[in-house]
């Protein structure tokens, strides 16, 4: 009865249509997605698994922008986004991966490279279309594509900039939890600063977490040893904390030393002085992943297996 109507606008006599509509209203009828999915073998949903030990994983401004971009694109095609954050150690057991309830998956990995590799290979074996964000491994399975940004170049751009500013020593501040993007940023930074005729010394300092207090404490301790010409932090939030630590230690930025970060979302503008940063197209990354994934579902293969978006140096007052 309802069926005939719901064959999606098939020709129906006016009287019948009225009848059906009345019944729908009366019974408060809404189609059951599970039954539909089962019958059609389509799920209309994409899963997103985020390996992050921080329970507030969505606070990361990069991740929240990426998720917005992805979710909005999916929404526009009537797909839903199924999110789950999971501690890196418990990645493989994640419910979102164990059940086939999503037609496709996206993943954001972190942790030591070996662990990430393991997670990456595990994803490849699932046999579902999958997009992994910001990863360096080459897609091994045809089901897997990688969407990222050129963090290596970002690091280099910032390195070149500092070199032009005449910096002779740099401290790079990064969180203990390993992220592929951070590794690349550091690598690019070192390439621009160390490997030349006039090498600039780069020293890495690890903070317990990305939280304000941890970064603030670590940088304060570091400044107690010796004041570098510049501090580069893995993210703008961390750079903001470093800035505060400088202020707290009576150092003026950019007069006594320079400070810079990465991402360029909001934080860079809140601080005094405003931060020099490398702008990430996080929202775009999410949207592109959505496009690739739905294209893959429709046409059966990825047009490209890796996408790398450009990043852009944005000079602020902190390195002026």
Partner DNA sequence: TTGAAAGCGTTACCAC
Partner DNA sequence: GTGGTAACGCTTTCAA
- Rule CB under 8 A: which residues touch a second copy? 28, 30-38, 43-45, 47, 55-59, 61, 64-65, 67-69, 71-72, 75, 78, 80-86, 95-96, 98-101, 125-127, 212, 237, 240-241, 244, 247, 265-267, 269-272, 283
The stretch near DNA (CB under 7 A) out of 2-10, 63-71, 172-180, 297-305 is 2-10
Q: Which does 80 bind (CB under 5 to 8 A by kind): a second copy, DNA, none?
A: a second copy
> Which among 156, 173, 272 has a CA at the least distance from the CA of 215?
173
User: Binding marks (x or -) toward DNA, 4..33, rule CB under 7 A?
Assistant: x-xx--xxxx-xx--------------xx-
Is residue 40 within the footprint of DNA (CB under 7 A)?
A: yes
CB-based contacts of 94, cutoff 8 Å, min separation 6: 49, 84, 86
* Near DNA by CB under 7 A: residue from 22, 23, 38, 208: 38
Decide if 271 contacts 53 (C-beta within 8 A). no
Distance CA 120, CA 102 (A): 18
The least CB distance from residue 311 to DNA, in Å, is 43
Q: Which does 11 bind (CB under 5 to 8 A by kind): DNA, a second copy, none?
A: DNA
Rounded to the nearest 5°, which phi and psi values hold at 30? -135, 135
Token reading at 12: 């129906």
The least CB distance from residue 16 to DNA, in Å, is 3
Burial environment of residue 263 by CB neighbours within 10 A (0 to 12, 13 to 18, 19 or more): buried
Alpha-carbon distances of 34 from 44, 45, 81, rounded to whole Å: 10, 12, 16
Token reading at 231: 């501090």
The least CB distance from residue 122 to DNA, in Å, is 20
Distance CA 4, CA 25 (A): 16
Decide if 264 contacts 238 (C-beta within 8 A). no
The least CB distance from residue 77 to DNA, in Å, is 17
Q: Which does 164 bind (CB under 5 to 8 A by kind): DNA, a second copy, none?
A: none
Residue among 36 and 125 whose Cβ is closer to DNA: 36
Which residues lie near DNA (CB under 7 A)?
1-4, 6-7, 10-13, 15-16, 31-32, 35-36, 38-41
């Amino acid at each position: 009865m309802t069926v005939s109507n719901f064959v999606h606008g098939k020709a129906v006599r006016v009287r019948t249509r009225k009848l059906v509509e009345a019944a729908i209203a009366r019974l408060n009828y809404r189609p059951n997605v599970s039954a539909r999915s089962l019958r059609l073998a389509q799920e209309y949903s994409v899963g997103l698994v985020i390996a992050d030990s921080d329970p507030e994983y969505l606070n990361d401004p990069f991740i929240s922008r990426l998720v917005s971009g992805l979710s909005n694109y999916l929404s526009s095609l009537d797909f839903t986004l199924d999110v789950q954050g999971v501690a890196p150690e418990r990645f493989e057991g994640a419910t979102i991966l164990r059940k086939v309830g999503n037609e496709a998956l996206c993943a954001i990995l972190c942790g030591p490279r070996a662990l990430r590799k393991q997670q990456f290979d595990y994803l490849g074996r699932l046999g579902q279309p999958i997009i992994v964000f910001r990863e360096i491994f080459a897609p091994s399975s045809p089901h897997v594509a990688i969407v990222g940004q050129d963090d290596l170049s970002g690091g280099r751009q910032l390195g070149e900039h500092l070199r032009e500013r005449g910096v002779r020593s740099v401290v790079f501040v990064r969180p203990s939890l390993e992220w592929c993007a951070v590794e690349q940023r550091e690598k690019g930074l070192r390439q621009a600063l160390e490997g030349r005729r006039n090498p600039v010394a780069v020293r890495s300092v690890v903070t317990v977490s990305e939280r304000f207090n941890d970064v603030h404490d670590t940088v304060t301790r570091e400044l107690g040893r010796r004041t570098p010409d510049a501090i580069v932090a893995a993210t703008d939030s961390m750079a903001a904390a470093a800035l505060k630590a400088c202020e707290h230690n009576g150092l003026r930025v950019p007069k006594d030393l320079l400070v810079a970060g990465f991402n360029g979302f909001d934080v860079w503008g809140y601080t005094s002085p405003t931060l020099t940063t490398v702008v990430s197209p996080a929202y775009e990354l999410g949207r592109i992943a959505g496009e690739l994934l739905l294209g893959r579902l429709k046409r059966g293969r990825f047009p490209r297996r890796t996408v790398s978006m450009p990043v852009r140096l944005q000079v602020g007052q902190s390195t002026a």
